[in-house]
């Protein structure tokens, strides 16, 4: 029992260490945005309410309308067959149209635009806030679980919301705090699927650039800040704190549009491999033109050595686009069996397996050619970029490549 007590701090420290190195960019992003939001909330109450209502709010709402409608147009024009982009375009369109109606109403009959000093959220505010929050979760849901989101599942997600609204209307208890937090329940459920998505990507790709789960975490962090900020200003007595919410929404829309337009579709890139895997798993066969090769191929430890020999001689890991199904060239197995083979024989995913070779190659280059720049080492080792190389090297070795090079080659 004493040993367990002594080890618990180490285990806790290890968890924090792994959390930091696995999600350092996401943690830094969240902390920076949170600090900016906190400062904005603090100083915004110095804004005169007349200036806020008559000038700042119309400008920021107009910026939201322009950003969302232009973003929706871009998503629909450049969806490249990605259902996730289409769904995000629909979310932008809904958000933009709601703000456009709000802006037109203000132009026709100028009045106080945002009354955020209420002590209790109205049913209209609760419903609208929840629907907007739910709509913004369509994109990450589709990215994590493609095809799962249908009319039936969408209604199923919203049904508890309408039940709570009905109860809040008919019973004397105030359920508005619970209803306001309902999107966070959906967000938490979404986070439970991120680990499975990350593992799936690591089992199929050697480079996670533009498909990494980190982007989805940043996306959800922004949504979380927008939601928490909205609830806070609704219960505060300073309407001008809505300034923070308005610029934060514009930032969220612009940032997400730019990021999503350059996201890859990991599922589409391996769709044919997945279909082939499913067909072969049912029949427990391989492609007819590979039967003879499969029969003569080595098995067990010989198959492992066959793969290692191929990795050493052909060095396929130097190609940044190296994928799991490329192993089919030397091991005639479908996607499911290849992934299982790597886990059974090496205890790691395809991503981890390949990057071990890339790190060893980078070490060799830095040892034999210490004059090489880090960017050149990354490119010649098979990494997609210097940033990716630095992050992976630091996480696996415990220090950056420059520090490692200095320690192993002191001047």
pLDDT at position 111 is 56
DSSP-derived secondary structure letter, 205: B
Ordered by start, the domain boundaries in the chain are 15-265, 283-408
Helices 151-170 and 182-191: crossing angle in degrees, nearest 10, is 150
| CB-CB neighbours of 23 under 10 Å | 16
Q: Which residues lie closer than 8 Å to 299 by C-beta, 6 or more apart? A: none
Long-range Cβ contact pairs of 379-382 (< 8 A, separation 24 or more): 380/318, 381/318, 382/206, 382/317, 382/318, 382/319, 382/320, 382/322, 382/354, 382/357, 382/358
| CA 358 – CA 382 distance, rounded (Å) | 6
pTM over the 0.85 mark: no
Which residue reads 């979310």 in tokens? 91
Domain 15-265, architecture per CATH: Up-down Bundle (1.20)
**Angstrom distance (rounded) from CA 149 to CA 139:** 10
Task: Decide if 245 contacts 64 (C-beta within 8 A).
Answer: no
How many alpha carbons fall within 13 Å on the CB side of residue 109?
A: 3
Could you tell me the end-to-end alpha-carbon distance of the chain, in angstroms, rounded to an integer? 49
Q: Which fold has domain 283-408?
A: Arc Repressor Mutant, subunit A (1.10.10)
Q: Work out the number of other CB atoms within 10 angstroms of the CB of residue 106.
A: 19
As a residue count, the chain comes to 411
Q: Which three-class secondary structure state does DSSP give residue 110?
A: coil
- Cα distance between residue 227 and residue 130, in whole Å: 9
Give pLDDT, residue 231: 77
Whole-angstrom distance, CA of residue 99 vs CA of residue 142: 25
pLDDT at site 395: 82
Per-position pLDDT tens, the chain of length 411: 344 444 444 555 555 656 666 677 788 889 999 999 999 988 888 888 888 888 888 899 999 999 999 999 999 999 888 999 999 999 999 999 989 988 888 777 665 444 544 445 677 777 888 888 899 999 999 999 888 888 899 889 889 888 888 888 888 877 877 888 888 888 888 888 888 898 899 999 988 888 888 888 899 889 888 888 887 877 776 777 788 888 999 999 999 999 999 888 888 766 544 444 444 433 333 343 433 343 344 455 778 888 899 999 999 999 988 999 898 888 888 888 888 889 988 888 999 999 999 999 999 999 888 888 999 999 999 998 888 898 888 888 888 888 888 887 665
């Amino acid at each position: 029992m004493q040993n367990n007590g002594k080890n618990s701090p180490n285990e806790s420290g290890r968890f924090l260490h792994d959390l930091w190195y696995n999600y350092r960019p996401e943690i830094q992003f969240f902390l920076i945005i949170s600090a900016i939001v906190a400062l904005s909330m603090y100083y915004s109450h110095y804004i005169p309410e007349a200036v806020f209502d008559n000038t700042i709010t119309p400008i920021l709402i107009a910026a939201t309308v322009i950003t969302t409608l232009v973003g929706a147009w871009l998503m629909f024009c450049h969806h490249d067959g990605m259902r996730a982009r289409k769904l995000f375009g629909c979310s932008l369109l809904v958000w933009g149209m709601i703000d456009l109606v709000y802006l037109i109403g203000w132009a026709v009959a100028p009045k106080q635009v945002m009354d955020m000093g209420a002590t209790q959220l109205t049913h209209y505010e609760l419903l609208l806030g929840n629907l907007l929050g739910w709509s913004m979760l369509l994109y990450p849901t589709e990215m994590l679980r493609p095809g799962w989101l249908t009319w039936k599942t969408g209604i199923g997600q919203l049904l508890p919301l309408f039940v709570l609204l009905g109860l809040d209307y008919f019973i004397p208890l105030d359920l508005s705090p619970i209803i306001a937090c309902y999107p966070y329940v959906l967000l938490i459920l979404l986070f439970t699927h991120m680990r499975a998505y990350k593992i799936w990507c690591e089992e199929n790709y050697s480079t996670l650039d533009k498909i990494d789960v980190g982007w989805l975490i940043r996306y959800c962090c922004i949504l979380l800040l927008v939601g928490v900020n909205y609830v806070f200003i609704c219960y505060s007595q300073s309407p001008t704190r809505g300034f923070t919410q308005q610029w934060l929404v514009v930032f969220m829309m612009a940032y997400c549009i730019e990021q999503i337009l350059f996201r890859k579709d990991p599922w589409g890139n391996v769709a044919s491999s997945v279909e082939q895997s499913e067909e072969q798993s049912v029949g427990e066969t391989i492609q007819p033109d590979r039967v003879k090769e499969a029969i003569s191929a080595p098995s067990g430890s010989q198959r492992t050595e066959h793969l290692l020999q191929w990795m050493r001689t052909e060095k396929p890991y130097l190609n940044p686009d190296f994928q799991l199904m490329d192993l089919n060239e030397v091991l005639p197995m479908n996607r499911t069996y290849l992934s299982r083979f790597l886990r059974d024989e090496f205890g790691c995913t395809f991503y981890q397996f390949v990057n071990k070779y890339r790190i060893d190659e980078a070490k060799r280059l830095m040892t034999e050619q210490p004059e090489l720049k880090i960017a050149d080492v990354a490119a010649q080792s098979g990494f997609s970029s210097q940033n990716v190389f630095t992050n992976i090297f630091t996480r696996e070795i415990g220090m950056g490549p420059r520090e490692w090079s200095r320690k192993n080659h002191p001047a």
